[in-house]
Amino acid sequence: MSDKPHLIAITACPSGVAHTYMAAENLERAAEELGYTMDVETHGQIGIENAFSQEAINRAEAVIIAADSKIELDRFAGKRVVVTGVAEGIHQPARLIRRGLEAEPIAKADNGSVVPAKPPKQGLYRILMNGVSHMIPFVVVGGLMIAIAYGIGGTPTPGGLVIPEGSFYETLAGLGGLGFTLMVPILSGYIAYAIADRPGLAPGMITGLLATTPALYNSEAGAGFIGGIVTGLLSGVVALGIKKIPVNKYVAPIWPIIVIPVGATLISGLTFIYALGAPIAAIFQSLTVWLEGMQGAAPIALGLILGAMIGFDMGGPVNKVAFLFAGGLIATGNFAPQGMTSVAIAVPPLGMALATFVGRRAFDDMERQNGIAAAFMGFFFISEGAIPFAAAD
């Protein structure tokens, strides 16, 4: 065991791919330069890796959390904790470590929950990104299955590719379609979870499914991903409000299991059915019709806007807004915006990879290695491969 002071850190980003591991690497490097040892627990798409032992938590002088998704703090009671976005872990790791060492310890409340001395801000972006991060696998799995079905099994017709009825590829496309069916409920459920913890999950998912079931609120079209965002926020806020109602010890055991989920589902669900559903569905339908009616230069303009948003901060808030907009339209059968964003995502990493291959003398060994990594990321539509080059400039 090292005699150096010990730190622990958690990194997580909405997609759980590149930013998560870049922040982990930079924090470890900065800790070593400052004379500390550090264990980093990553919360990526593969799940939690390098989970802390209780001994590591006990030894830690501070806990650094660089995450854009919800992280439970209960196990860190009594420790100095700093909570921030994953970007600070990438770009300013040394400053973040110093902030952690200067932070106030968090305390455990009477009800067992952890209360930071200065609660971290749970901004709207982080709440929304918690939903997006859990939605992404459903978009990827569903999209790839449908793409394979049409790409291999589709028959060209004047109206586009058509999959023969009763074929294996029709089954494959149907399986992919189930992924898209779950997309909005998952988005809504984990937005609510970010606000109210577990009691908000069931109401969020149920009302998210409600948003895609127009017959329940007398609409011809569903409310789509916009409805999913609204139901997630509404369910989370209602569940949190019920959660904060003081109850005696006899009622407390059933409160989070029965009262909060049922109450939040009823209140938010009925509010959406009788007040919000139809107007939001009309807005979403208007957006869909506008996109479907684009002719001439309009798709080029949309592509330029989405491409600029994707490249603006490569995995950051603006990038994710563009991705959410394009991905949310897939469920309506409008694939063009997602195609635009996919191409835009691949351009920065592939461009930098090509630059390191063509102009090798202009880059050092580390940058050439980053170029190889960027190439692999670009082929799989991960824009963050270009971030090391942008950060260096």
Place of tokens 């991905």: 327
Structure tokens at 385: 């491969």
3-state secondary structure of 9: strand
Other residues' Cβ atoms within 10 Å of the Cβ of residue 341:
24
User: C-alpha angle with apex 69: 64 to 70, nearest 5 degrees?
Assistant: 80
Three-state SS at 332: helix
- Quick one: tokens of 157? 């017709």
Contacts of 215 (CB under 8 A, 6+ apart): none
Residue 352: closest CA among 384, 310, 320? 384
Q: Where in the sequence numbering do the catalytic residues fall?
A: 13
Q: φ and ψ at 209, to 5 degrees? A: -65, -35
Q: What are phi and psi of 11, to 5 degrees?
A: -125, 145
What 3-state class would DSSP assign to 2? coil
CA 8 to chain centre: 23
Question: In degrees rounded to 5, what are phi and psi of residue 48?
Answer: -85, 125
Per DSSP, what are the bridge partners of residue 63? 8, 81
State phi, psi for 97 to the nearest 5 degrees.
-60, -45
